[in-house]
Amino acid sequence: MKKKKRHGALALLEFNTVASGVLASDLMVKRSPIALLRCGTIHPGRYLCLIGGSVASTEEAYATGVEFGDSQGSLGGRIFLGDVHPYLHDAVLGTRKDLAGDALGVIETRSSPALLSAVDAAIKSTPVMLGEVRLGDDLGGHAVALLGGDLHDVEFALEICAERAGDQLLDRTLLPRLDHGLRELLDGGTRFGPCPAFEPDGAEYPEEVACAWEG
């Protein structure tokens, strides 16, 4: 079985303007041999740039982006992960995992770099499963992660996230016993558009209401 390729380090930079973010991306990729893994606009008018590569090359490019952003006053947030957890590495690049354990923790931050910092610390300290990570897209610039596992572990993970995120923490919730139907929906993702309907046995659905729209 072919092993999934992982980068030794990741860095995420959030710029307050699209113009400065595009220029910073160009400067970083010209500075050292890194990969531009994901770059683009997020609400409200910001620009995210995720880079990866060896620890040395990523750190060098990251320093270039930070220096430029600071000089322009356009850097909204940043995080360098020189020893990124494999779960977080894969989740940031779009890999989803089914939630494990009875409990679910949801962590939401005001910025994407803050979420990566918080989640990386939490999953390195607790045996929770990282189900999903969403950065900025369709979230008004916020970032969200789902953490599953045993109640004690998820509770501790959320505490770590809150401490690490600081004033960037927007909200956190703990579901001690996640409903089975909701679990199935969340395993498919948290986006509203593609979410399938879940109608458990016994759900109230009066026939007269169902037929009211029929001719």
| Alpha helix positions (H), the chain | 18-31, 55-72, 86-92, 112-125, 151-165, 180-187, 207-210
Instruction: Identify whether 213 is part of a domain.
Output: no
Using alpha carbons, select from 85, 105, 99, 88 the residue that is nearest to residue 189: 99
Q: What is the pTM of this model?
A: 0.87
Into how many domains does the chain fold?
A: 2
Beta bridge partners of 35: 52
Look at residue 106 in the predicted model and tell me its pLDDT: 98
Using alpha carbons, select from 132, 129, 171, 126 the residue that is nearest to residue 152: 126
Instruction: Identify whether 193 is part of a domain.
Output: no
Look at residue 139 in the predicted model and tell me its pLDDT: 87
Q: How far apart are CA 58 and CA 32, in angstroms?
A: 8
Question: CATH no. for residue 132?
Answer: 3.30.70.1710
| 10 DSSP assignment | E
Instruction: Identify whether 56 is part of a domain.
Output: yes
Look at residue 92 in the predicted model and tell me its pLDDT: 93
Domain co-membership, 74 together with 14: yes
Domain co-membership, 102 together with 77: no
Its domain, for residue 162, covers: 96-187
Look at residue 192 in the predicted model and tell me its pLDDT: 81
Domain co-membership, 103 together with 54: no
Instruction: Identify whether 28 is part of a domain.
Output: yes
Domain co-membership, 72 together with 146: no
Q: How far apart are CA 87 and CA 54, in angstroms?
A: 18
Domain co-membership, 50 together with 105: no
Domain co-membership, 59 together with 125: no
Look at residue 168 in the predicted model and tell me its pLDDT: 97
Domain co-membership, 19 together with 50: yes
Domain co-membership, 77 together with 136: no
The whole-number mean pLDDT for each consecutive block of 10 residues of the chain, a chain of 215 residues, reads 73 97 97 94 94 96 97 96 93 91 97 96 96 89 96 98 97 96 90 67 52 46
Domain co-membership, 59 together with 117: no
Domain boundary, last residue among 81, 114, 142:
81
Instruction: Identify whether 181 is part of a domain.
Output: yes
Name the token pair of 125: 């300290």
Domain co-membership, 73 together with 107: no
Look at residue 138 in the predicted model and tell me its pLDDT: 81
Domain co-membership, 103 together with 30: no
Name the token pair of 191: 């986006």
Domain co-membership, 116 together with 153: yes
